Chain A
Amino acid sequence: MNVFLTQLLNGLDKGGAYALIALGLTLVFGTLGVVNFAHGALFMLGCFCAVAFRYLLTIETVTIDPEQLSPWGAPLEVKTPVIQAWLGDFGAVLVDYSVPISILLAVPLMLLIGIAMERGLIKHFYKRTHAEQILVTFGLAIVLAEIVKTFFGPNPIPQPIPTALRGAADVGSWLGFAPHAITYPWWRLIYLMFSGVVIAGVFAFLQFTTYGMVVRAGMADREAVSILGINIDRRFTVVFGLAAVVAGVAGVMYTPLLAPNYMLGMDFLVLSFVVVVVGGMGSLGGAVAAGFLLGILQSFASMNEVRAIFPGIDQVIIYLVAVVILLVRPRGLMGRRGVMEG
């Protein structure tokens, strides 16, 4: 039972990332009808928002302190981040919490990038075939990845977890198991809760606001909504921006778990497309459910006991599930009948 719970928890945080990316992909597909292969690149851009923010925060001044000596006997060079010199202890806290704080930078930036992308390129592809949409966004993904590579180099750049959150939570004792039976790193727990909050926020936005209601109406019948005199195109552009923001913040918070490099977007894109297809193209609930489901399945498949029976299953489980789902139930777990049921 302990092992089972541990693996369940391990799968949940990765599942959260899949769910957030797949949610944006589905949102874009459901509103604009566009298959966006550049969505993984948006996740990657989010990761690099965190990297850039930390880089800005830790611009340092070097002062030579003759009082202290380095092990070689030379005067010690003391590096102080500028922000710490200005703001004192508060500056140090800022640097420590750079990852969560960079969400503040990521939200407006990703919104801007998303809207620019939709207005600049994607809107010309509404009427083109899916194959052409795939191709142009694939090209865009290459461009975005390469631009990031130019600025940040090809190597992964690890981001630290804030010091206070580095330990592991004793989840087992909360649930009445023996102490230290099930532990789970705090940051993963935070990521899980964070993804839950973002998902709930997106659903609340669509379900309980007038704006969201109009968007849902537009998803169901775009033409009828525009005949009512509503500028549905503008709302869909905002939805694209929203999807970019969701992918971006998912990336920001994921950086301490996986050091980002410019290829990250491509890796996550393939997986999250599989997630969308398993959940059902155009079904938001399906995307979220499938994201968590596949995360958990992947975690179980990487157990030594399972791998002893099916060697290599941890590498292929997600694709295997996708193949089975597509062959048996092509509209996905929760897809509507007749939507993209080729």
Chain B
Amino acid sequence: MLSLSRKDLISLVIFAAVVVAMPLWLAPFGAAYPGLMQKFAIAAIFAIGFNILFGLTGYLSFGHAAFLGVGSYTTVWTFKLLGMEILPAIIFAIIVAGLFSLIIGYFSLRRTGIYFSILTLAFAQMSYSLAYSVLTPITNGETGLLLARGDPRVLDMAFGNQVDGAGLPFPTLFGMELGGYGGFYLCAVVLILSFFISQKIFASPFGMALRSIKSNQMRMSYTGFDIKPYLLTAFVISGMFAGLAGALMSVTDPLAGAERMKWTESGNVVLMTILGGVGTLFGPVIGAWLIEYFENIFSAINYNMLNGFFGFLPDGVRDVAVTVSSKFVGEGWHLTLGLLFVVVVVFLPGGVMEGVRRLSAYFKDRTGRTPEPVTKASAAE
């Protein structure tokens, strides 16, 4: 059950090495601090899960942020009610997100194409609005759900793990507090596991069935193949991944807010998957990292840094260059993101992975040598 093909095993080992070594190779990019790398890992998990639905079946969901939010809320509630141990919280989050996506998926999957997208969007917006208004007793509305010293924490109390000193309790893994690199390595391990699961799904007969649904759904049904349970399973799996990502967000920073369910978040994960390469194993991870990098590094660039960067130019030209480029960084990084997105969809619908494949094909033509094997990218349906 745990065996992998030789090729997959090699990519898993490489992937694990890359993830574990993140503090080393991210240092030159100025991104090697645990808080950010943690975000990289969580976004990658979210995108990997989304790719199992969108990449394999071609169903474009615009409502995955709802599952992320549900995962976050469940985690914080588990912290509040049971105790600060991480594992039960994550497991509960995955189960609840899975049940939630089962309900939404059951209804949404009765339609295809753009209708499916709008149904998922409608359900997610509904959850978002409810989280802000009526469900305030559960979600704590605009303030967001926070831990409090007076929480019951039944298990912690039973084992005598009282909060000592002032301040709030921290989440613990088997009694150890997770801070800084601890949090990052927890996310890294979960990310590697998620990657492994997605490899198994891609290689399994189940994954094959999903891909054939994508290439011709009608023909699949005509051959007497019941596609609904397959689609629903894929939807629930990707919902559980989203719940896992939401749980990790709350584990590393124990709060949950409704803004995580907003449709811009759903749009974000779509962007990540497209940018990296839909339907590929590495694509979503690369896309997630690129976008998180843009968000955190590009948005931190300010006027003075630009002035220094363009310092070699003559005065007048430099002012123009700084003024123009300052629109694209800092507050304006979304503009860069949007442009990048348009450019990718127009010229490179297969994302970064497609670019890599084209490049390697180009070099193969020129040199006549066989390039390194690259996972084959397939365009979005």
Contacts and interface: CB of A to CB of B under 8 A. Distances in A.
B262 to A, nearest CB: 10
B151 interface: no
Interface stretch (A90-98, A127-135, A247-255): A127-135
A277 B118 contact: yes
B267 A319 contact: no
Nearest to B340: A139
Number of chain B interface residues as a range: 35 or more
Interface stretch (B105-113, B188-196, B361-369): B105-113
Contacts of A277: 115, 118
Given A315-B129, A326-B111, A340-B114, A146 B334 contact: yes
Interface in B321-373: 327, 331-332, 334-335, 337-339, 341-342, 345-346, 349
B18 interface: no
B116 interface: yes
B49 interface: no
Nearest to A153: B331
Interface of B: 58, 60, 107, 110-119, 121-123, 125-126, 129-130, 132-135, 263-264, 267, 270-271, 274, 327, 331-332, 334-335, 337-339, 341-342, 345-346, 349, 380-381
Number of chain A interface residues as a range: 35 or more
Interface stretch (A103-111, A168-176, A203-211, A266-274): A266-274
Given A150-B327, A340-B113, 10 more contacts: A131-B58, A139-B338, A139-B339, A270-B263, A277-B115, A312-B130, A316-B126, A316-B129, A326-B118, A330-B115
Contacts, number: 121
A113 to B, nearest CB: 16
A135 B269 CA distance: 12
Contacts of B134: 311-312, 315
Nearest to B380: A131
The 7 closest A-B pairs by CB, nearest first: A312-B134, A142-B338, A139-B341, A315-B129, A146-B335, A342-B112, A143-B338
28 contacts: A129-B381, A132-B349, A134-B114, A135-B341, A136-B346, A139-B345, A142-B338, A143-B339, A146-B334, A150-B327, A270-B263, A273-B121, A274-B118, A312-B130, A312-B135, A315-B129, A323-B107, A323-B122, A323-B123, A326-B111, A326-B118, A327-B107, A327-B111, A330-B111, A340-B113, A342-B111, A342-B114, A342-B115
A140 interface: yes
A257 B129 CA distance: 22
Contacts of A326: 111, 115, 118-119
Contacts of B107: 323, 327
Contacts of B123: 319, 323
A138 interface: yes
A98 to B, nearest CB: 27
Contact of B113 (A142, A146, A323, A342): A342
Given A129-B381, A135-B274, A319-B122, A327 B110 contact: yes
Nearest to B110: A327
Given A129-B381, A134-B60, A273 B118 contact: yes
Which residue, A129, A135, A149, A326, has most C-beta atoms of chain B within 10 A? A135
Contact of A142 (B110, B116, B132, B337): B337
Contact of B381 (A131, A146, A330): A131
B335 A132 contact: no
Contacts of A322: 118-119, 122
Contacts of B380: 129, 131-132, 135
A interface: dominant SS: helix
Nearest to B274: A135
A135 B270 contact: yes
A147 interface: yes
A258 interface: no
Contacts of A143: 335, 338-339, 342
B327 A274 contact: no
A337 interface: no
A320 B335 CA distance: 33
A182 to B, nearest CB: 28
Nearest to A35: B114
B183 to A, nearest CB: 31
A136 B342 contact: yes
Which residue, B118, B135, B349, has most C-beta atoms of chain A within 10 A? B118
Contacts of B130: 312, 315-316
Contacts of B117: 131, 134
A266 B264 CA distance: 9
Which residue, B112, B115, B121, B123, has most C-beta atoms of chain A within 10 A? B115
B334 A142 contact: yes
Contacts of B263: 266, 270
A140 B337 CA distance: 10
A124 B118 CA distance: 24
A319 B118 CA distance: 10
Contacts of B135: 312
Contacts of B116: 342
B29 to A, nearest CB: 24
A323 B119 contact: yes
Interface string A138-167: 111111011101100000000000000000
A270 B335 CA distance: 20
Interface string A212-237: 00000000000000000000000000
B126 A319 contact: yes
Contacts of A139: 271, 338-339, 341-342, 345
A136 B345 contact: yes
A116 to B, nearest CB: 14
B118 to A, nearest CB: 5
